[in-house]
């Protein structure tokens, strides 16, 4: 449902230049050369060991760019890894010079590339940049190339880092970590196994739906979010069933990008806040934790924004004619739950090893993610959070929240 938001102030953030399509990665050499001749590629161990990183090294070398690889990014990077990446980039910039940083991989590698790009020009410890607009200076030129279809990091203004002492994830949120160029090549995602396809795809779905429910949603973000929901509803089961289905992979890459633009402007809301509350302690991969939380947060928010949930049902292809708005909203929740089941993803906290007696501490942990709760359309206090986790633990998506 369109709504006129221009009566209040909001900003539309400039996205990076996006180069999208099968084979787009071949362009990295020419694009990097525009910034200079000395590049640092930031990626994960898996990409180096499997030689997948060659997809980016070859065109860079052919363009005459000197490349150094930092290939030690781990999934769900913590603060000590972020500090090591920052130190590495600073040393390299001082010793041989550094013109451009290229991130290649899933959201974790792209987020660490963001850290590498800001570090040489922002010399304080990375932990001091946690929060909103805490990075004083724009970093080195940054090119991000996702090999998954989920995080939206290629266009987002956040680098997520695990804060071990607080057992939550925190964000370095700043326009100064936004990439200059995002190269989105769906062919790079065909190597994802079905489990990773499912979990990263559900992360993208969470971004789209949370951005659509968010109080920060506006007439710029709404079409992006709904189109992402449609593409995911069409493509995710297909990409899961057949990883080589390039049409489905392309739909998912595009969806992750659009959802990334939507949440970068509108903000994720209580779904990510709930996921962050248990993902660190119980080592649940990001997309899986978001998937567990999503139907419950949709159900919880359906009291506040039922029309928005009804729109999501329509975007997912659910037949809603003749139904009331509340009935249609309920079908959106059921449709998301059904998708999780089809993808064989866990749907309860019990499934991922969270003990029932931890529900209260998860509830207080969730309240630490203020940035996301502030834009949730329904207020979340500790009692609401407890009810959400209670339902999430039992897998009771029908319960009153
Ligand atoms: Fe996410």
> 249 and 352 in contact (C-beta within 8 Å)?
no
User: How many A from CA of 62 to the centre of ligand 1?
Assistant: 35
Cα-to-centroid distance, 37 and ligand 1 (Å): 33
Per-residue pLDDT tens over the stretch 366-376: 999 999 999 99
**What is the Å distance from ligand 1's center to 97 Cα?**
33
Based on the domain organization, do 206 and 354 belong to the same domain?
A: yes
C-alpha 270 to ligand 1 mean position (Å): 12
Q: Is 7 among the domain residues? A: no
Same domain, 170 and 92: yes
For residue 9, tell me if it sits in a domain.
Answer: no
Task: Return the CATH number at 108.
Answer: 3.40.50.1970
Residue 161 lies in a domain: yes
Whether 269 contacts 210, CB under 8 Å: yes
CA of 96 to the centre of ligand 1 (A): 35
Q: Which residues surround ligand 1, an ion (CB under 5 A)?
A: 203
Residue 227 Cα, ligand 1 centroid: separation in angstroms? 17
Q: Are residues 97 and 128 in the same domain?
A: yes
Ligand 1 center to 76 CA (angstroms) = 11
Among 189, 215, 230, give the residue marking a domain's end. 189
* Of the candidates 189, 385, 162, 166, the residue with the CA atom closest to the CA atom of residue 285: 162
113 CA → ligand 1 middle, Å: 17
Cα separation, 374 vs 367, whole angstroms: 10
Give the CATH number for residue 310. Answer: 1.20.1090.10
pLDDT at 227: 98
Answer yes or no: do 199 and 160 share one domain.
no
| Alpha carbon 275 to chain centroid, angstroms | 12
In a domain, 66, yes or no: yes
Domain boundary among 172, 189, 206: 189
- The alpha carbon of 272 and the centre of ligand 1 are apart by a number of angstroms equal to 7
Tell me, what's the pLDDT at 165? 79
Tell whether 23 is covered by a domain: yes
Within 8 A by CB and 6+ apart from 400, the residues are none
pLDDT in tens, 58-92: 999 999 999 999 999 999 999 999 999 999 999 99
Quote the pLDDT of residue 297. Answer: 98
Region of residue 28 (phi > 0: left; psi between -120 and 50: alpha; otherwise: beta)? alpha
Q: 310 CA to middle of ligand 1, Å?
A: 22
CA of 291 to the centre of ligand 1 (A): 10
Using N-to-C axis directions, what is the helix angle for 194-213 and 286-301, rounded to 10°?
30
The pLDDT value recorded for residue 3 is 60
- Are 267 and 181 contained in the same domain? no
Please indicate, yes or no, if residue 185 is contained in any of the structural domains.
yes
Rounded Cα distance, 28 and 188, in Å: 13
In terms of residues, how long is the chain? 401
Q: Take residue 29 and report the two structure tokens written for it.
A: 């050499």
400 C-alpha vs ligand 1 centroid, how far in Å? 26
Q: Two tokens at 347? A: 């749907």
Q: For residue 266, which of 205, 315, 220, 206 has the smallest C-alpha distance?
A: 220
> How far is CA 14 from each of CA 24, 108, 117, rounded to the nearest angstrom?
21, 22, 18
CB 16 within 8 A of CB 180: yes
Say whether both 55 and 202 belong to one domain: no
How high is the pLDDT of residue 14?
85
Q: What's the number of domains the chain is made of?
A: 2
Containing domain of residue 368, as a range? 194-394
How does pLDDT run across 30-64, given as a tens digit for each residue?
999 999 999 999 999 999 999 999 999 999 999 99
- Residue pair 287/392 in contact by the 8 Å Cβ criterion: no
pLDDT at 166: 77
Domain end position, chosen among 170, 189, 208: 189
Could you tell me which residues come within 8 angstroms of residue 330 by beta carbon, excluding any fewer than 6 positions away? Answer: 299, 302, 309
Looking at the structure, do residues 160 and 261 belong to the same domain, yes or no? Answer: no
Give the model's pLDDT for residue 6: 65
Query: Helix, strand, coil proportions of the chain in percent (round to 5)?
Result: 55, 10, 35
- Whether residues 134 and 268 share a domain: the answer is no
- Residues 239 and 382 grouped into a single domain: yes
Q: Which residues are 134's β-sheet partners?
A: none
- Regarding whether 184 and 81 lie in a shared domain, the answer is yes
How many angstroms separate the alpha carbon of residue 162 from the centre of ligand 1?
A: 13
**Residue 75 corresponds to which tokens in the numbers above?**
């999934």
Is 59 in the same domain as 148?
yes
Same domain, 147 and 280: no
The DSSP-derived string for 300-329 is HHTTT-HHHHHHHHHHTT---TT--HHHHH
pLDDT of residue 7: 72
The pLDDT value given to residue 108: 97
**Ligand 1 center to residue 206 CA distance, Å?**
7
Residue 110 within a domain: yes
Tokens 């739950």 found at: 337
Which ranges of the chain have pLDDT less than 50? Answer: 1
In a domain, 42, yes or no: yes
Contact 21, 187 (CB under 8 A): no
What pLDDT, on a 0 to 100 scale, did the predictor assign at position 89? Answer: 98
Q: From ligand 1's centre to the CA of 200, what distance in Å?
A: 8
Query: What's the CA-to-centroid distance between 92 and ligand 1, angstroms?
Result: 30
């Amino acid at each position: 449902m369109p709504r006129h938001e221009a009566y209040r102030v909001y900003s539309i953030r400039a996205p990076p230049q996006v180069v999208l399509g099968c084979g787009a990665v071949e362009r990295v050499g020419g694009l990097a050369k525009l910034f200079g001749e000395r590049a640092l590629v930031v990626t994960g161990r898996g990409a180096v060991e499997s030689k997948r990183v060659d997809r980016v090294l070859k065109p860079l070398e052919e363009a005459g760019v000197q490349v150094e690889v930092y290939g030690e990014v781990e999934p769900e990077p913590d603060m000590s890894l972020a500090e090591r990446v920052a130190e590495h980039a600073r040393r390299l910039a001082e010793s041989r010079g550094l013109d451009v940083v290229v991130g290649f991989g899933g959201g974790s590698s792209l987020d660490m590339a963001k850290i590498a790009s800001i570090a040489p020009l922002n010399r304080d410890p990375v932990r001091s940049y946690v929060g909103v607009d805490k990075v004083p200076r724009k970093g080195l030129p940054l090119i991000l190339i996702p090999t998954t279809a989920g995080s939206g990091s290629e266009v987002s203004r956040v680098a997520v880092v695990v804060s071990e002492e607080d057992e939550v994830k925190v964000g370095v949120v700043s326009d100064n970590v936004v990439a200059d160029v995002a190269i989105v090549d769906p062919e790079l995602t065909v190597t994802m196994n079905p489990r990773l396809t499912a979990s990263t795809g559900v992360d993208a779905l969470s971004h789209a739906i949370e951005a659509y429910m968010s109080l920060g949603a506006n007439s710029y973000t709404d079409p992006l979010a709904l189109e992402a929901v449609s593409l995911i509803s069409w493509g995710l089961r297909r990409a899961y069933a057949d990883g080589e289905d390039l049409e489905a992979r392309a739909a998912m890459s595009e969806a992750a990008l659009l959802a990334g633009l939507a949440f970068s402007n509108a903000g994720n809301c209580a779904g990510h806040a709930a996921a962050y509350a248990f993902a660190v302690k119980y080592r649940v991969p990001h997309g899986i934790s978001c998937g567990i939380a999503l139907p419950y947060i949709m159900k919880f928010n359906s009291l506040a924004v039922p029309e928005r949930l009804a729109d999501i049902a329509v975007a997912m292809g659910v037949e809603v004619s003749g139904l009331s708005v509340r009935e249609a909203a309920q079908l959106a929740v059921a449709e998301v739950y059904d998708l999780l089941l089809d993808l064989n993803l866990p749907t309860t906290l019990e499934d991922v090893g969270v003990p029932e007696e931890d529900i209260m501490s998860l509830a207080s942990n969730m309240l630490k993610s203020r940035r996301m709760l502030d834009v949730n359309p329904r207020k979340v206090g500790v009692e609401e959070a407890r009810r959400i986790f209670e339902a999430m633990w039992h897998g009771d998506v029908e319960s009153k929240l």
